[in-house]
Amino acid sequence: MSTSALSEICFAAGDRRLRDGASLTFFYGPMDCGKSTLALQMDYNHARQGRRGLVLTRNDRSLGAKVTTRIGLSHDAIDVTDDLNLVELVRERWAAEERLDYLICDEACFYTVEQVEQMADLVDVYDVDVFAFGLATDFRSELFPASKRLFELADGVARLQVEVLCWCGRVGQLNARVVGGVVAREGEQVVIGDTGTEGTAAAEEVRYQVLCRRHYRAGDLGPKA
């Protein structure tokens, strides 16, 4: 998907607010589909319209309080921990006379279910727009709890598909965890792996690879794996 196409999605989602009041929108897709890039584009578009927002993330690949993208963009972000209350966060900022119109919640699949409920409260009670970005499913192809709740509660959901292809050329859909060269079927739901580099791997190195459904279910990593 081109940057201009991403912008059109951003504006389409942003325009909803003018008609309907604040809204909760969930953008989801596999790894490497440009979610964080779109998150920062969304922030840029709203800021350019004179609106004020906060960027939040969790377990970002930089392992710090930043949203980083593979194409080199980055933005300071609030690191979301289990005990962070999003409503309190906004209320505290307002109490300090900071204006806030929206939240950008990157890596929302790793938030708690309670924090998704807080997103809905921010929209319904406080008229704050919330744009959430994340994976839908984990390495077992099952929904993350927060993503499940977002599907249940969001005003709108949009699937992002930015040219992430399986090795066979089909659309990449599922996030396989590869441990020691084999597609893992069980384990902890969240394990941070090396998602970027190629080359020889240690026997138990954890990495992730986007596969089509057929090859995910077959556990087939392709001829180069």
Among 165, 168, 192, 218, binds Zn ion (CB under 5 A): 168
Residue with tokens 């993330």: 57
> Is residue 132 part of the contact set for Zn ion (CB under 5 A)?
no
105 lies in the site for Zn ion, by CB under 5 A: no
Only one of the segments 58-66, 147-155, 175-183, 206-214 lies at the binding site for Zn ion (rule: CB under 5 A); that segment is 206-214
39: left (phi over 0), alpha (psi -120 to 50) or beta: alpha
| Encoded amino acid at 169, one letter | G
Verify binding: residue 212, Zn ion, rule CB under 5 A.
yes
Distances in Å between the Cα of 89 and the Cα atoms of 24, 25, 65, 84, 199 are 17, 19, 16, 8, 42
CA gap 117, 72 in Å, rounded: 32
Of the candidates 102, 105, 115, 109, the residue with the CA atom closest to the CA atom of residue 78: 105
| Residues near Zn ion (CB under 5 A), total | 5
C-beta of 146 vs 212, nearer to Zn ion: 212
The verdict on 58 binding Zn ion (CB under 5 A) reads no
Question: Applying CB under 5 A, which of residues 52, 70, 99, 170 lies at the interface with Zn ion?
Answer: 170
166 binds Zn ion (CB under 5 A): yes
Pick the closer one to Zn ion by CB: 27 or 216. Answer: 216
Q: In whole angstroms, how close is the CB of 223 to Zn ion at the nearest point?
A: 11
Least distance in angstroms from the C-beta of 86 to Zn ion: 38
Among 27, 36, 215, 221, binds Zn ion (CB under 5 A): 215
Span interacting with Zn ion, options 31-39, 61-69, 85-93, 213-221, rule CB under 5 A: 213-221
Residues annotated as catalytic are: 107
Identity (one letter) of the amino acid at 224? K
User: 10-38: buried (b, 16+ CB within 10 Å) or exposed (e) per residue?
Assistant: beebbebbeeeebbbbbbbbbbbbbbbbb
Confirm or reject binding of residue 216 to Zn ion (CB under 5 A): no
71 contributes a contact to Zn ion by CB under 5 A: no
The helix, strand and coil proportions of the chain, stated in percent and rounded to the nearest 5, come to 35, 25, 45
Nearer to Zn ion, 22 or 212 (CB): 212
Residue 171: DSSP 8-state? B
Query: Minimum CB separation from Zn ion for residue 212, in Å?
Result: 3
Using CB under 5 A, list all residues that contact Zn ion: 166, 168, 170, 212, 215
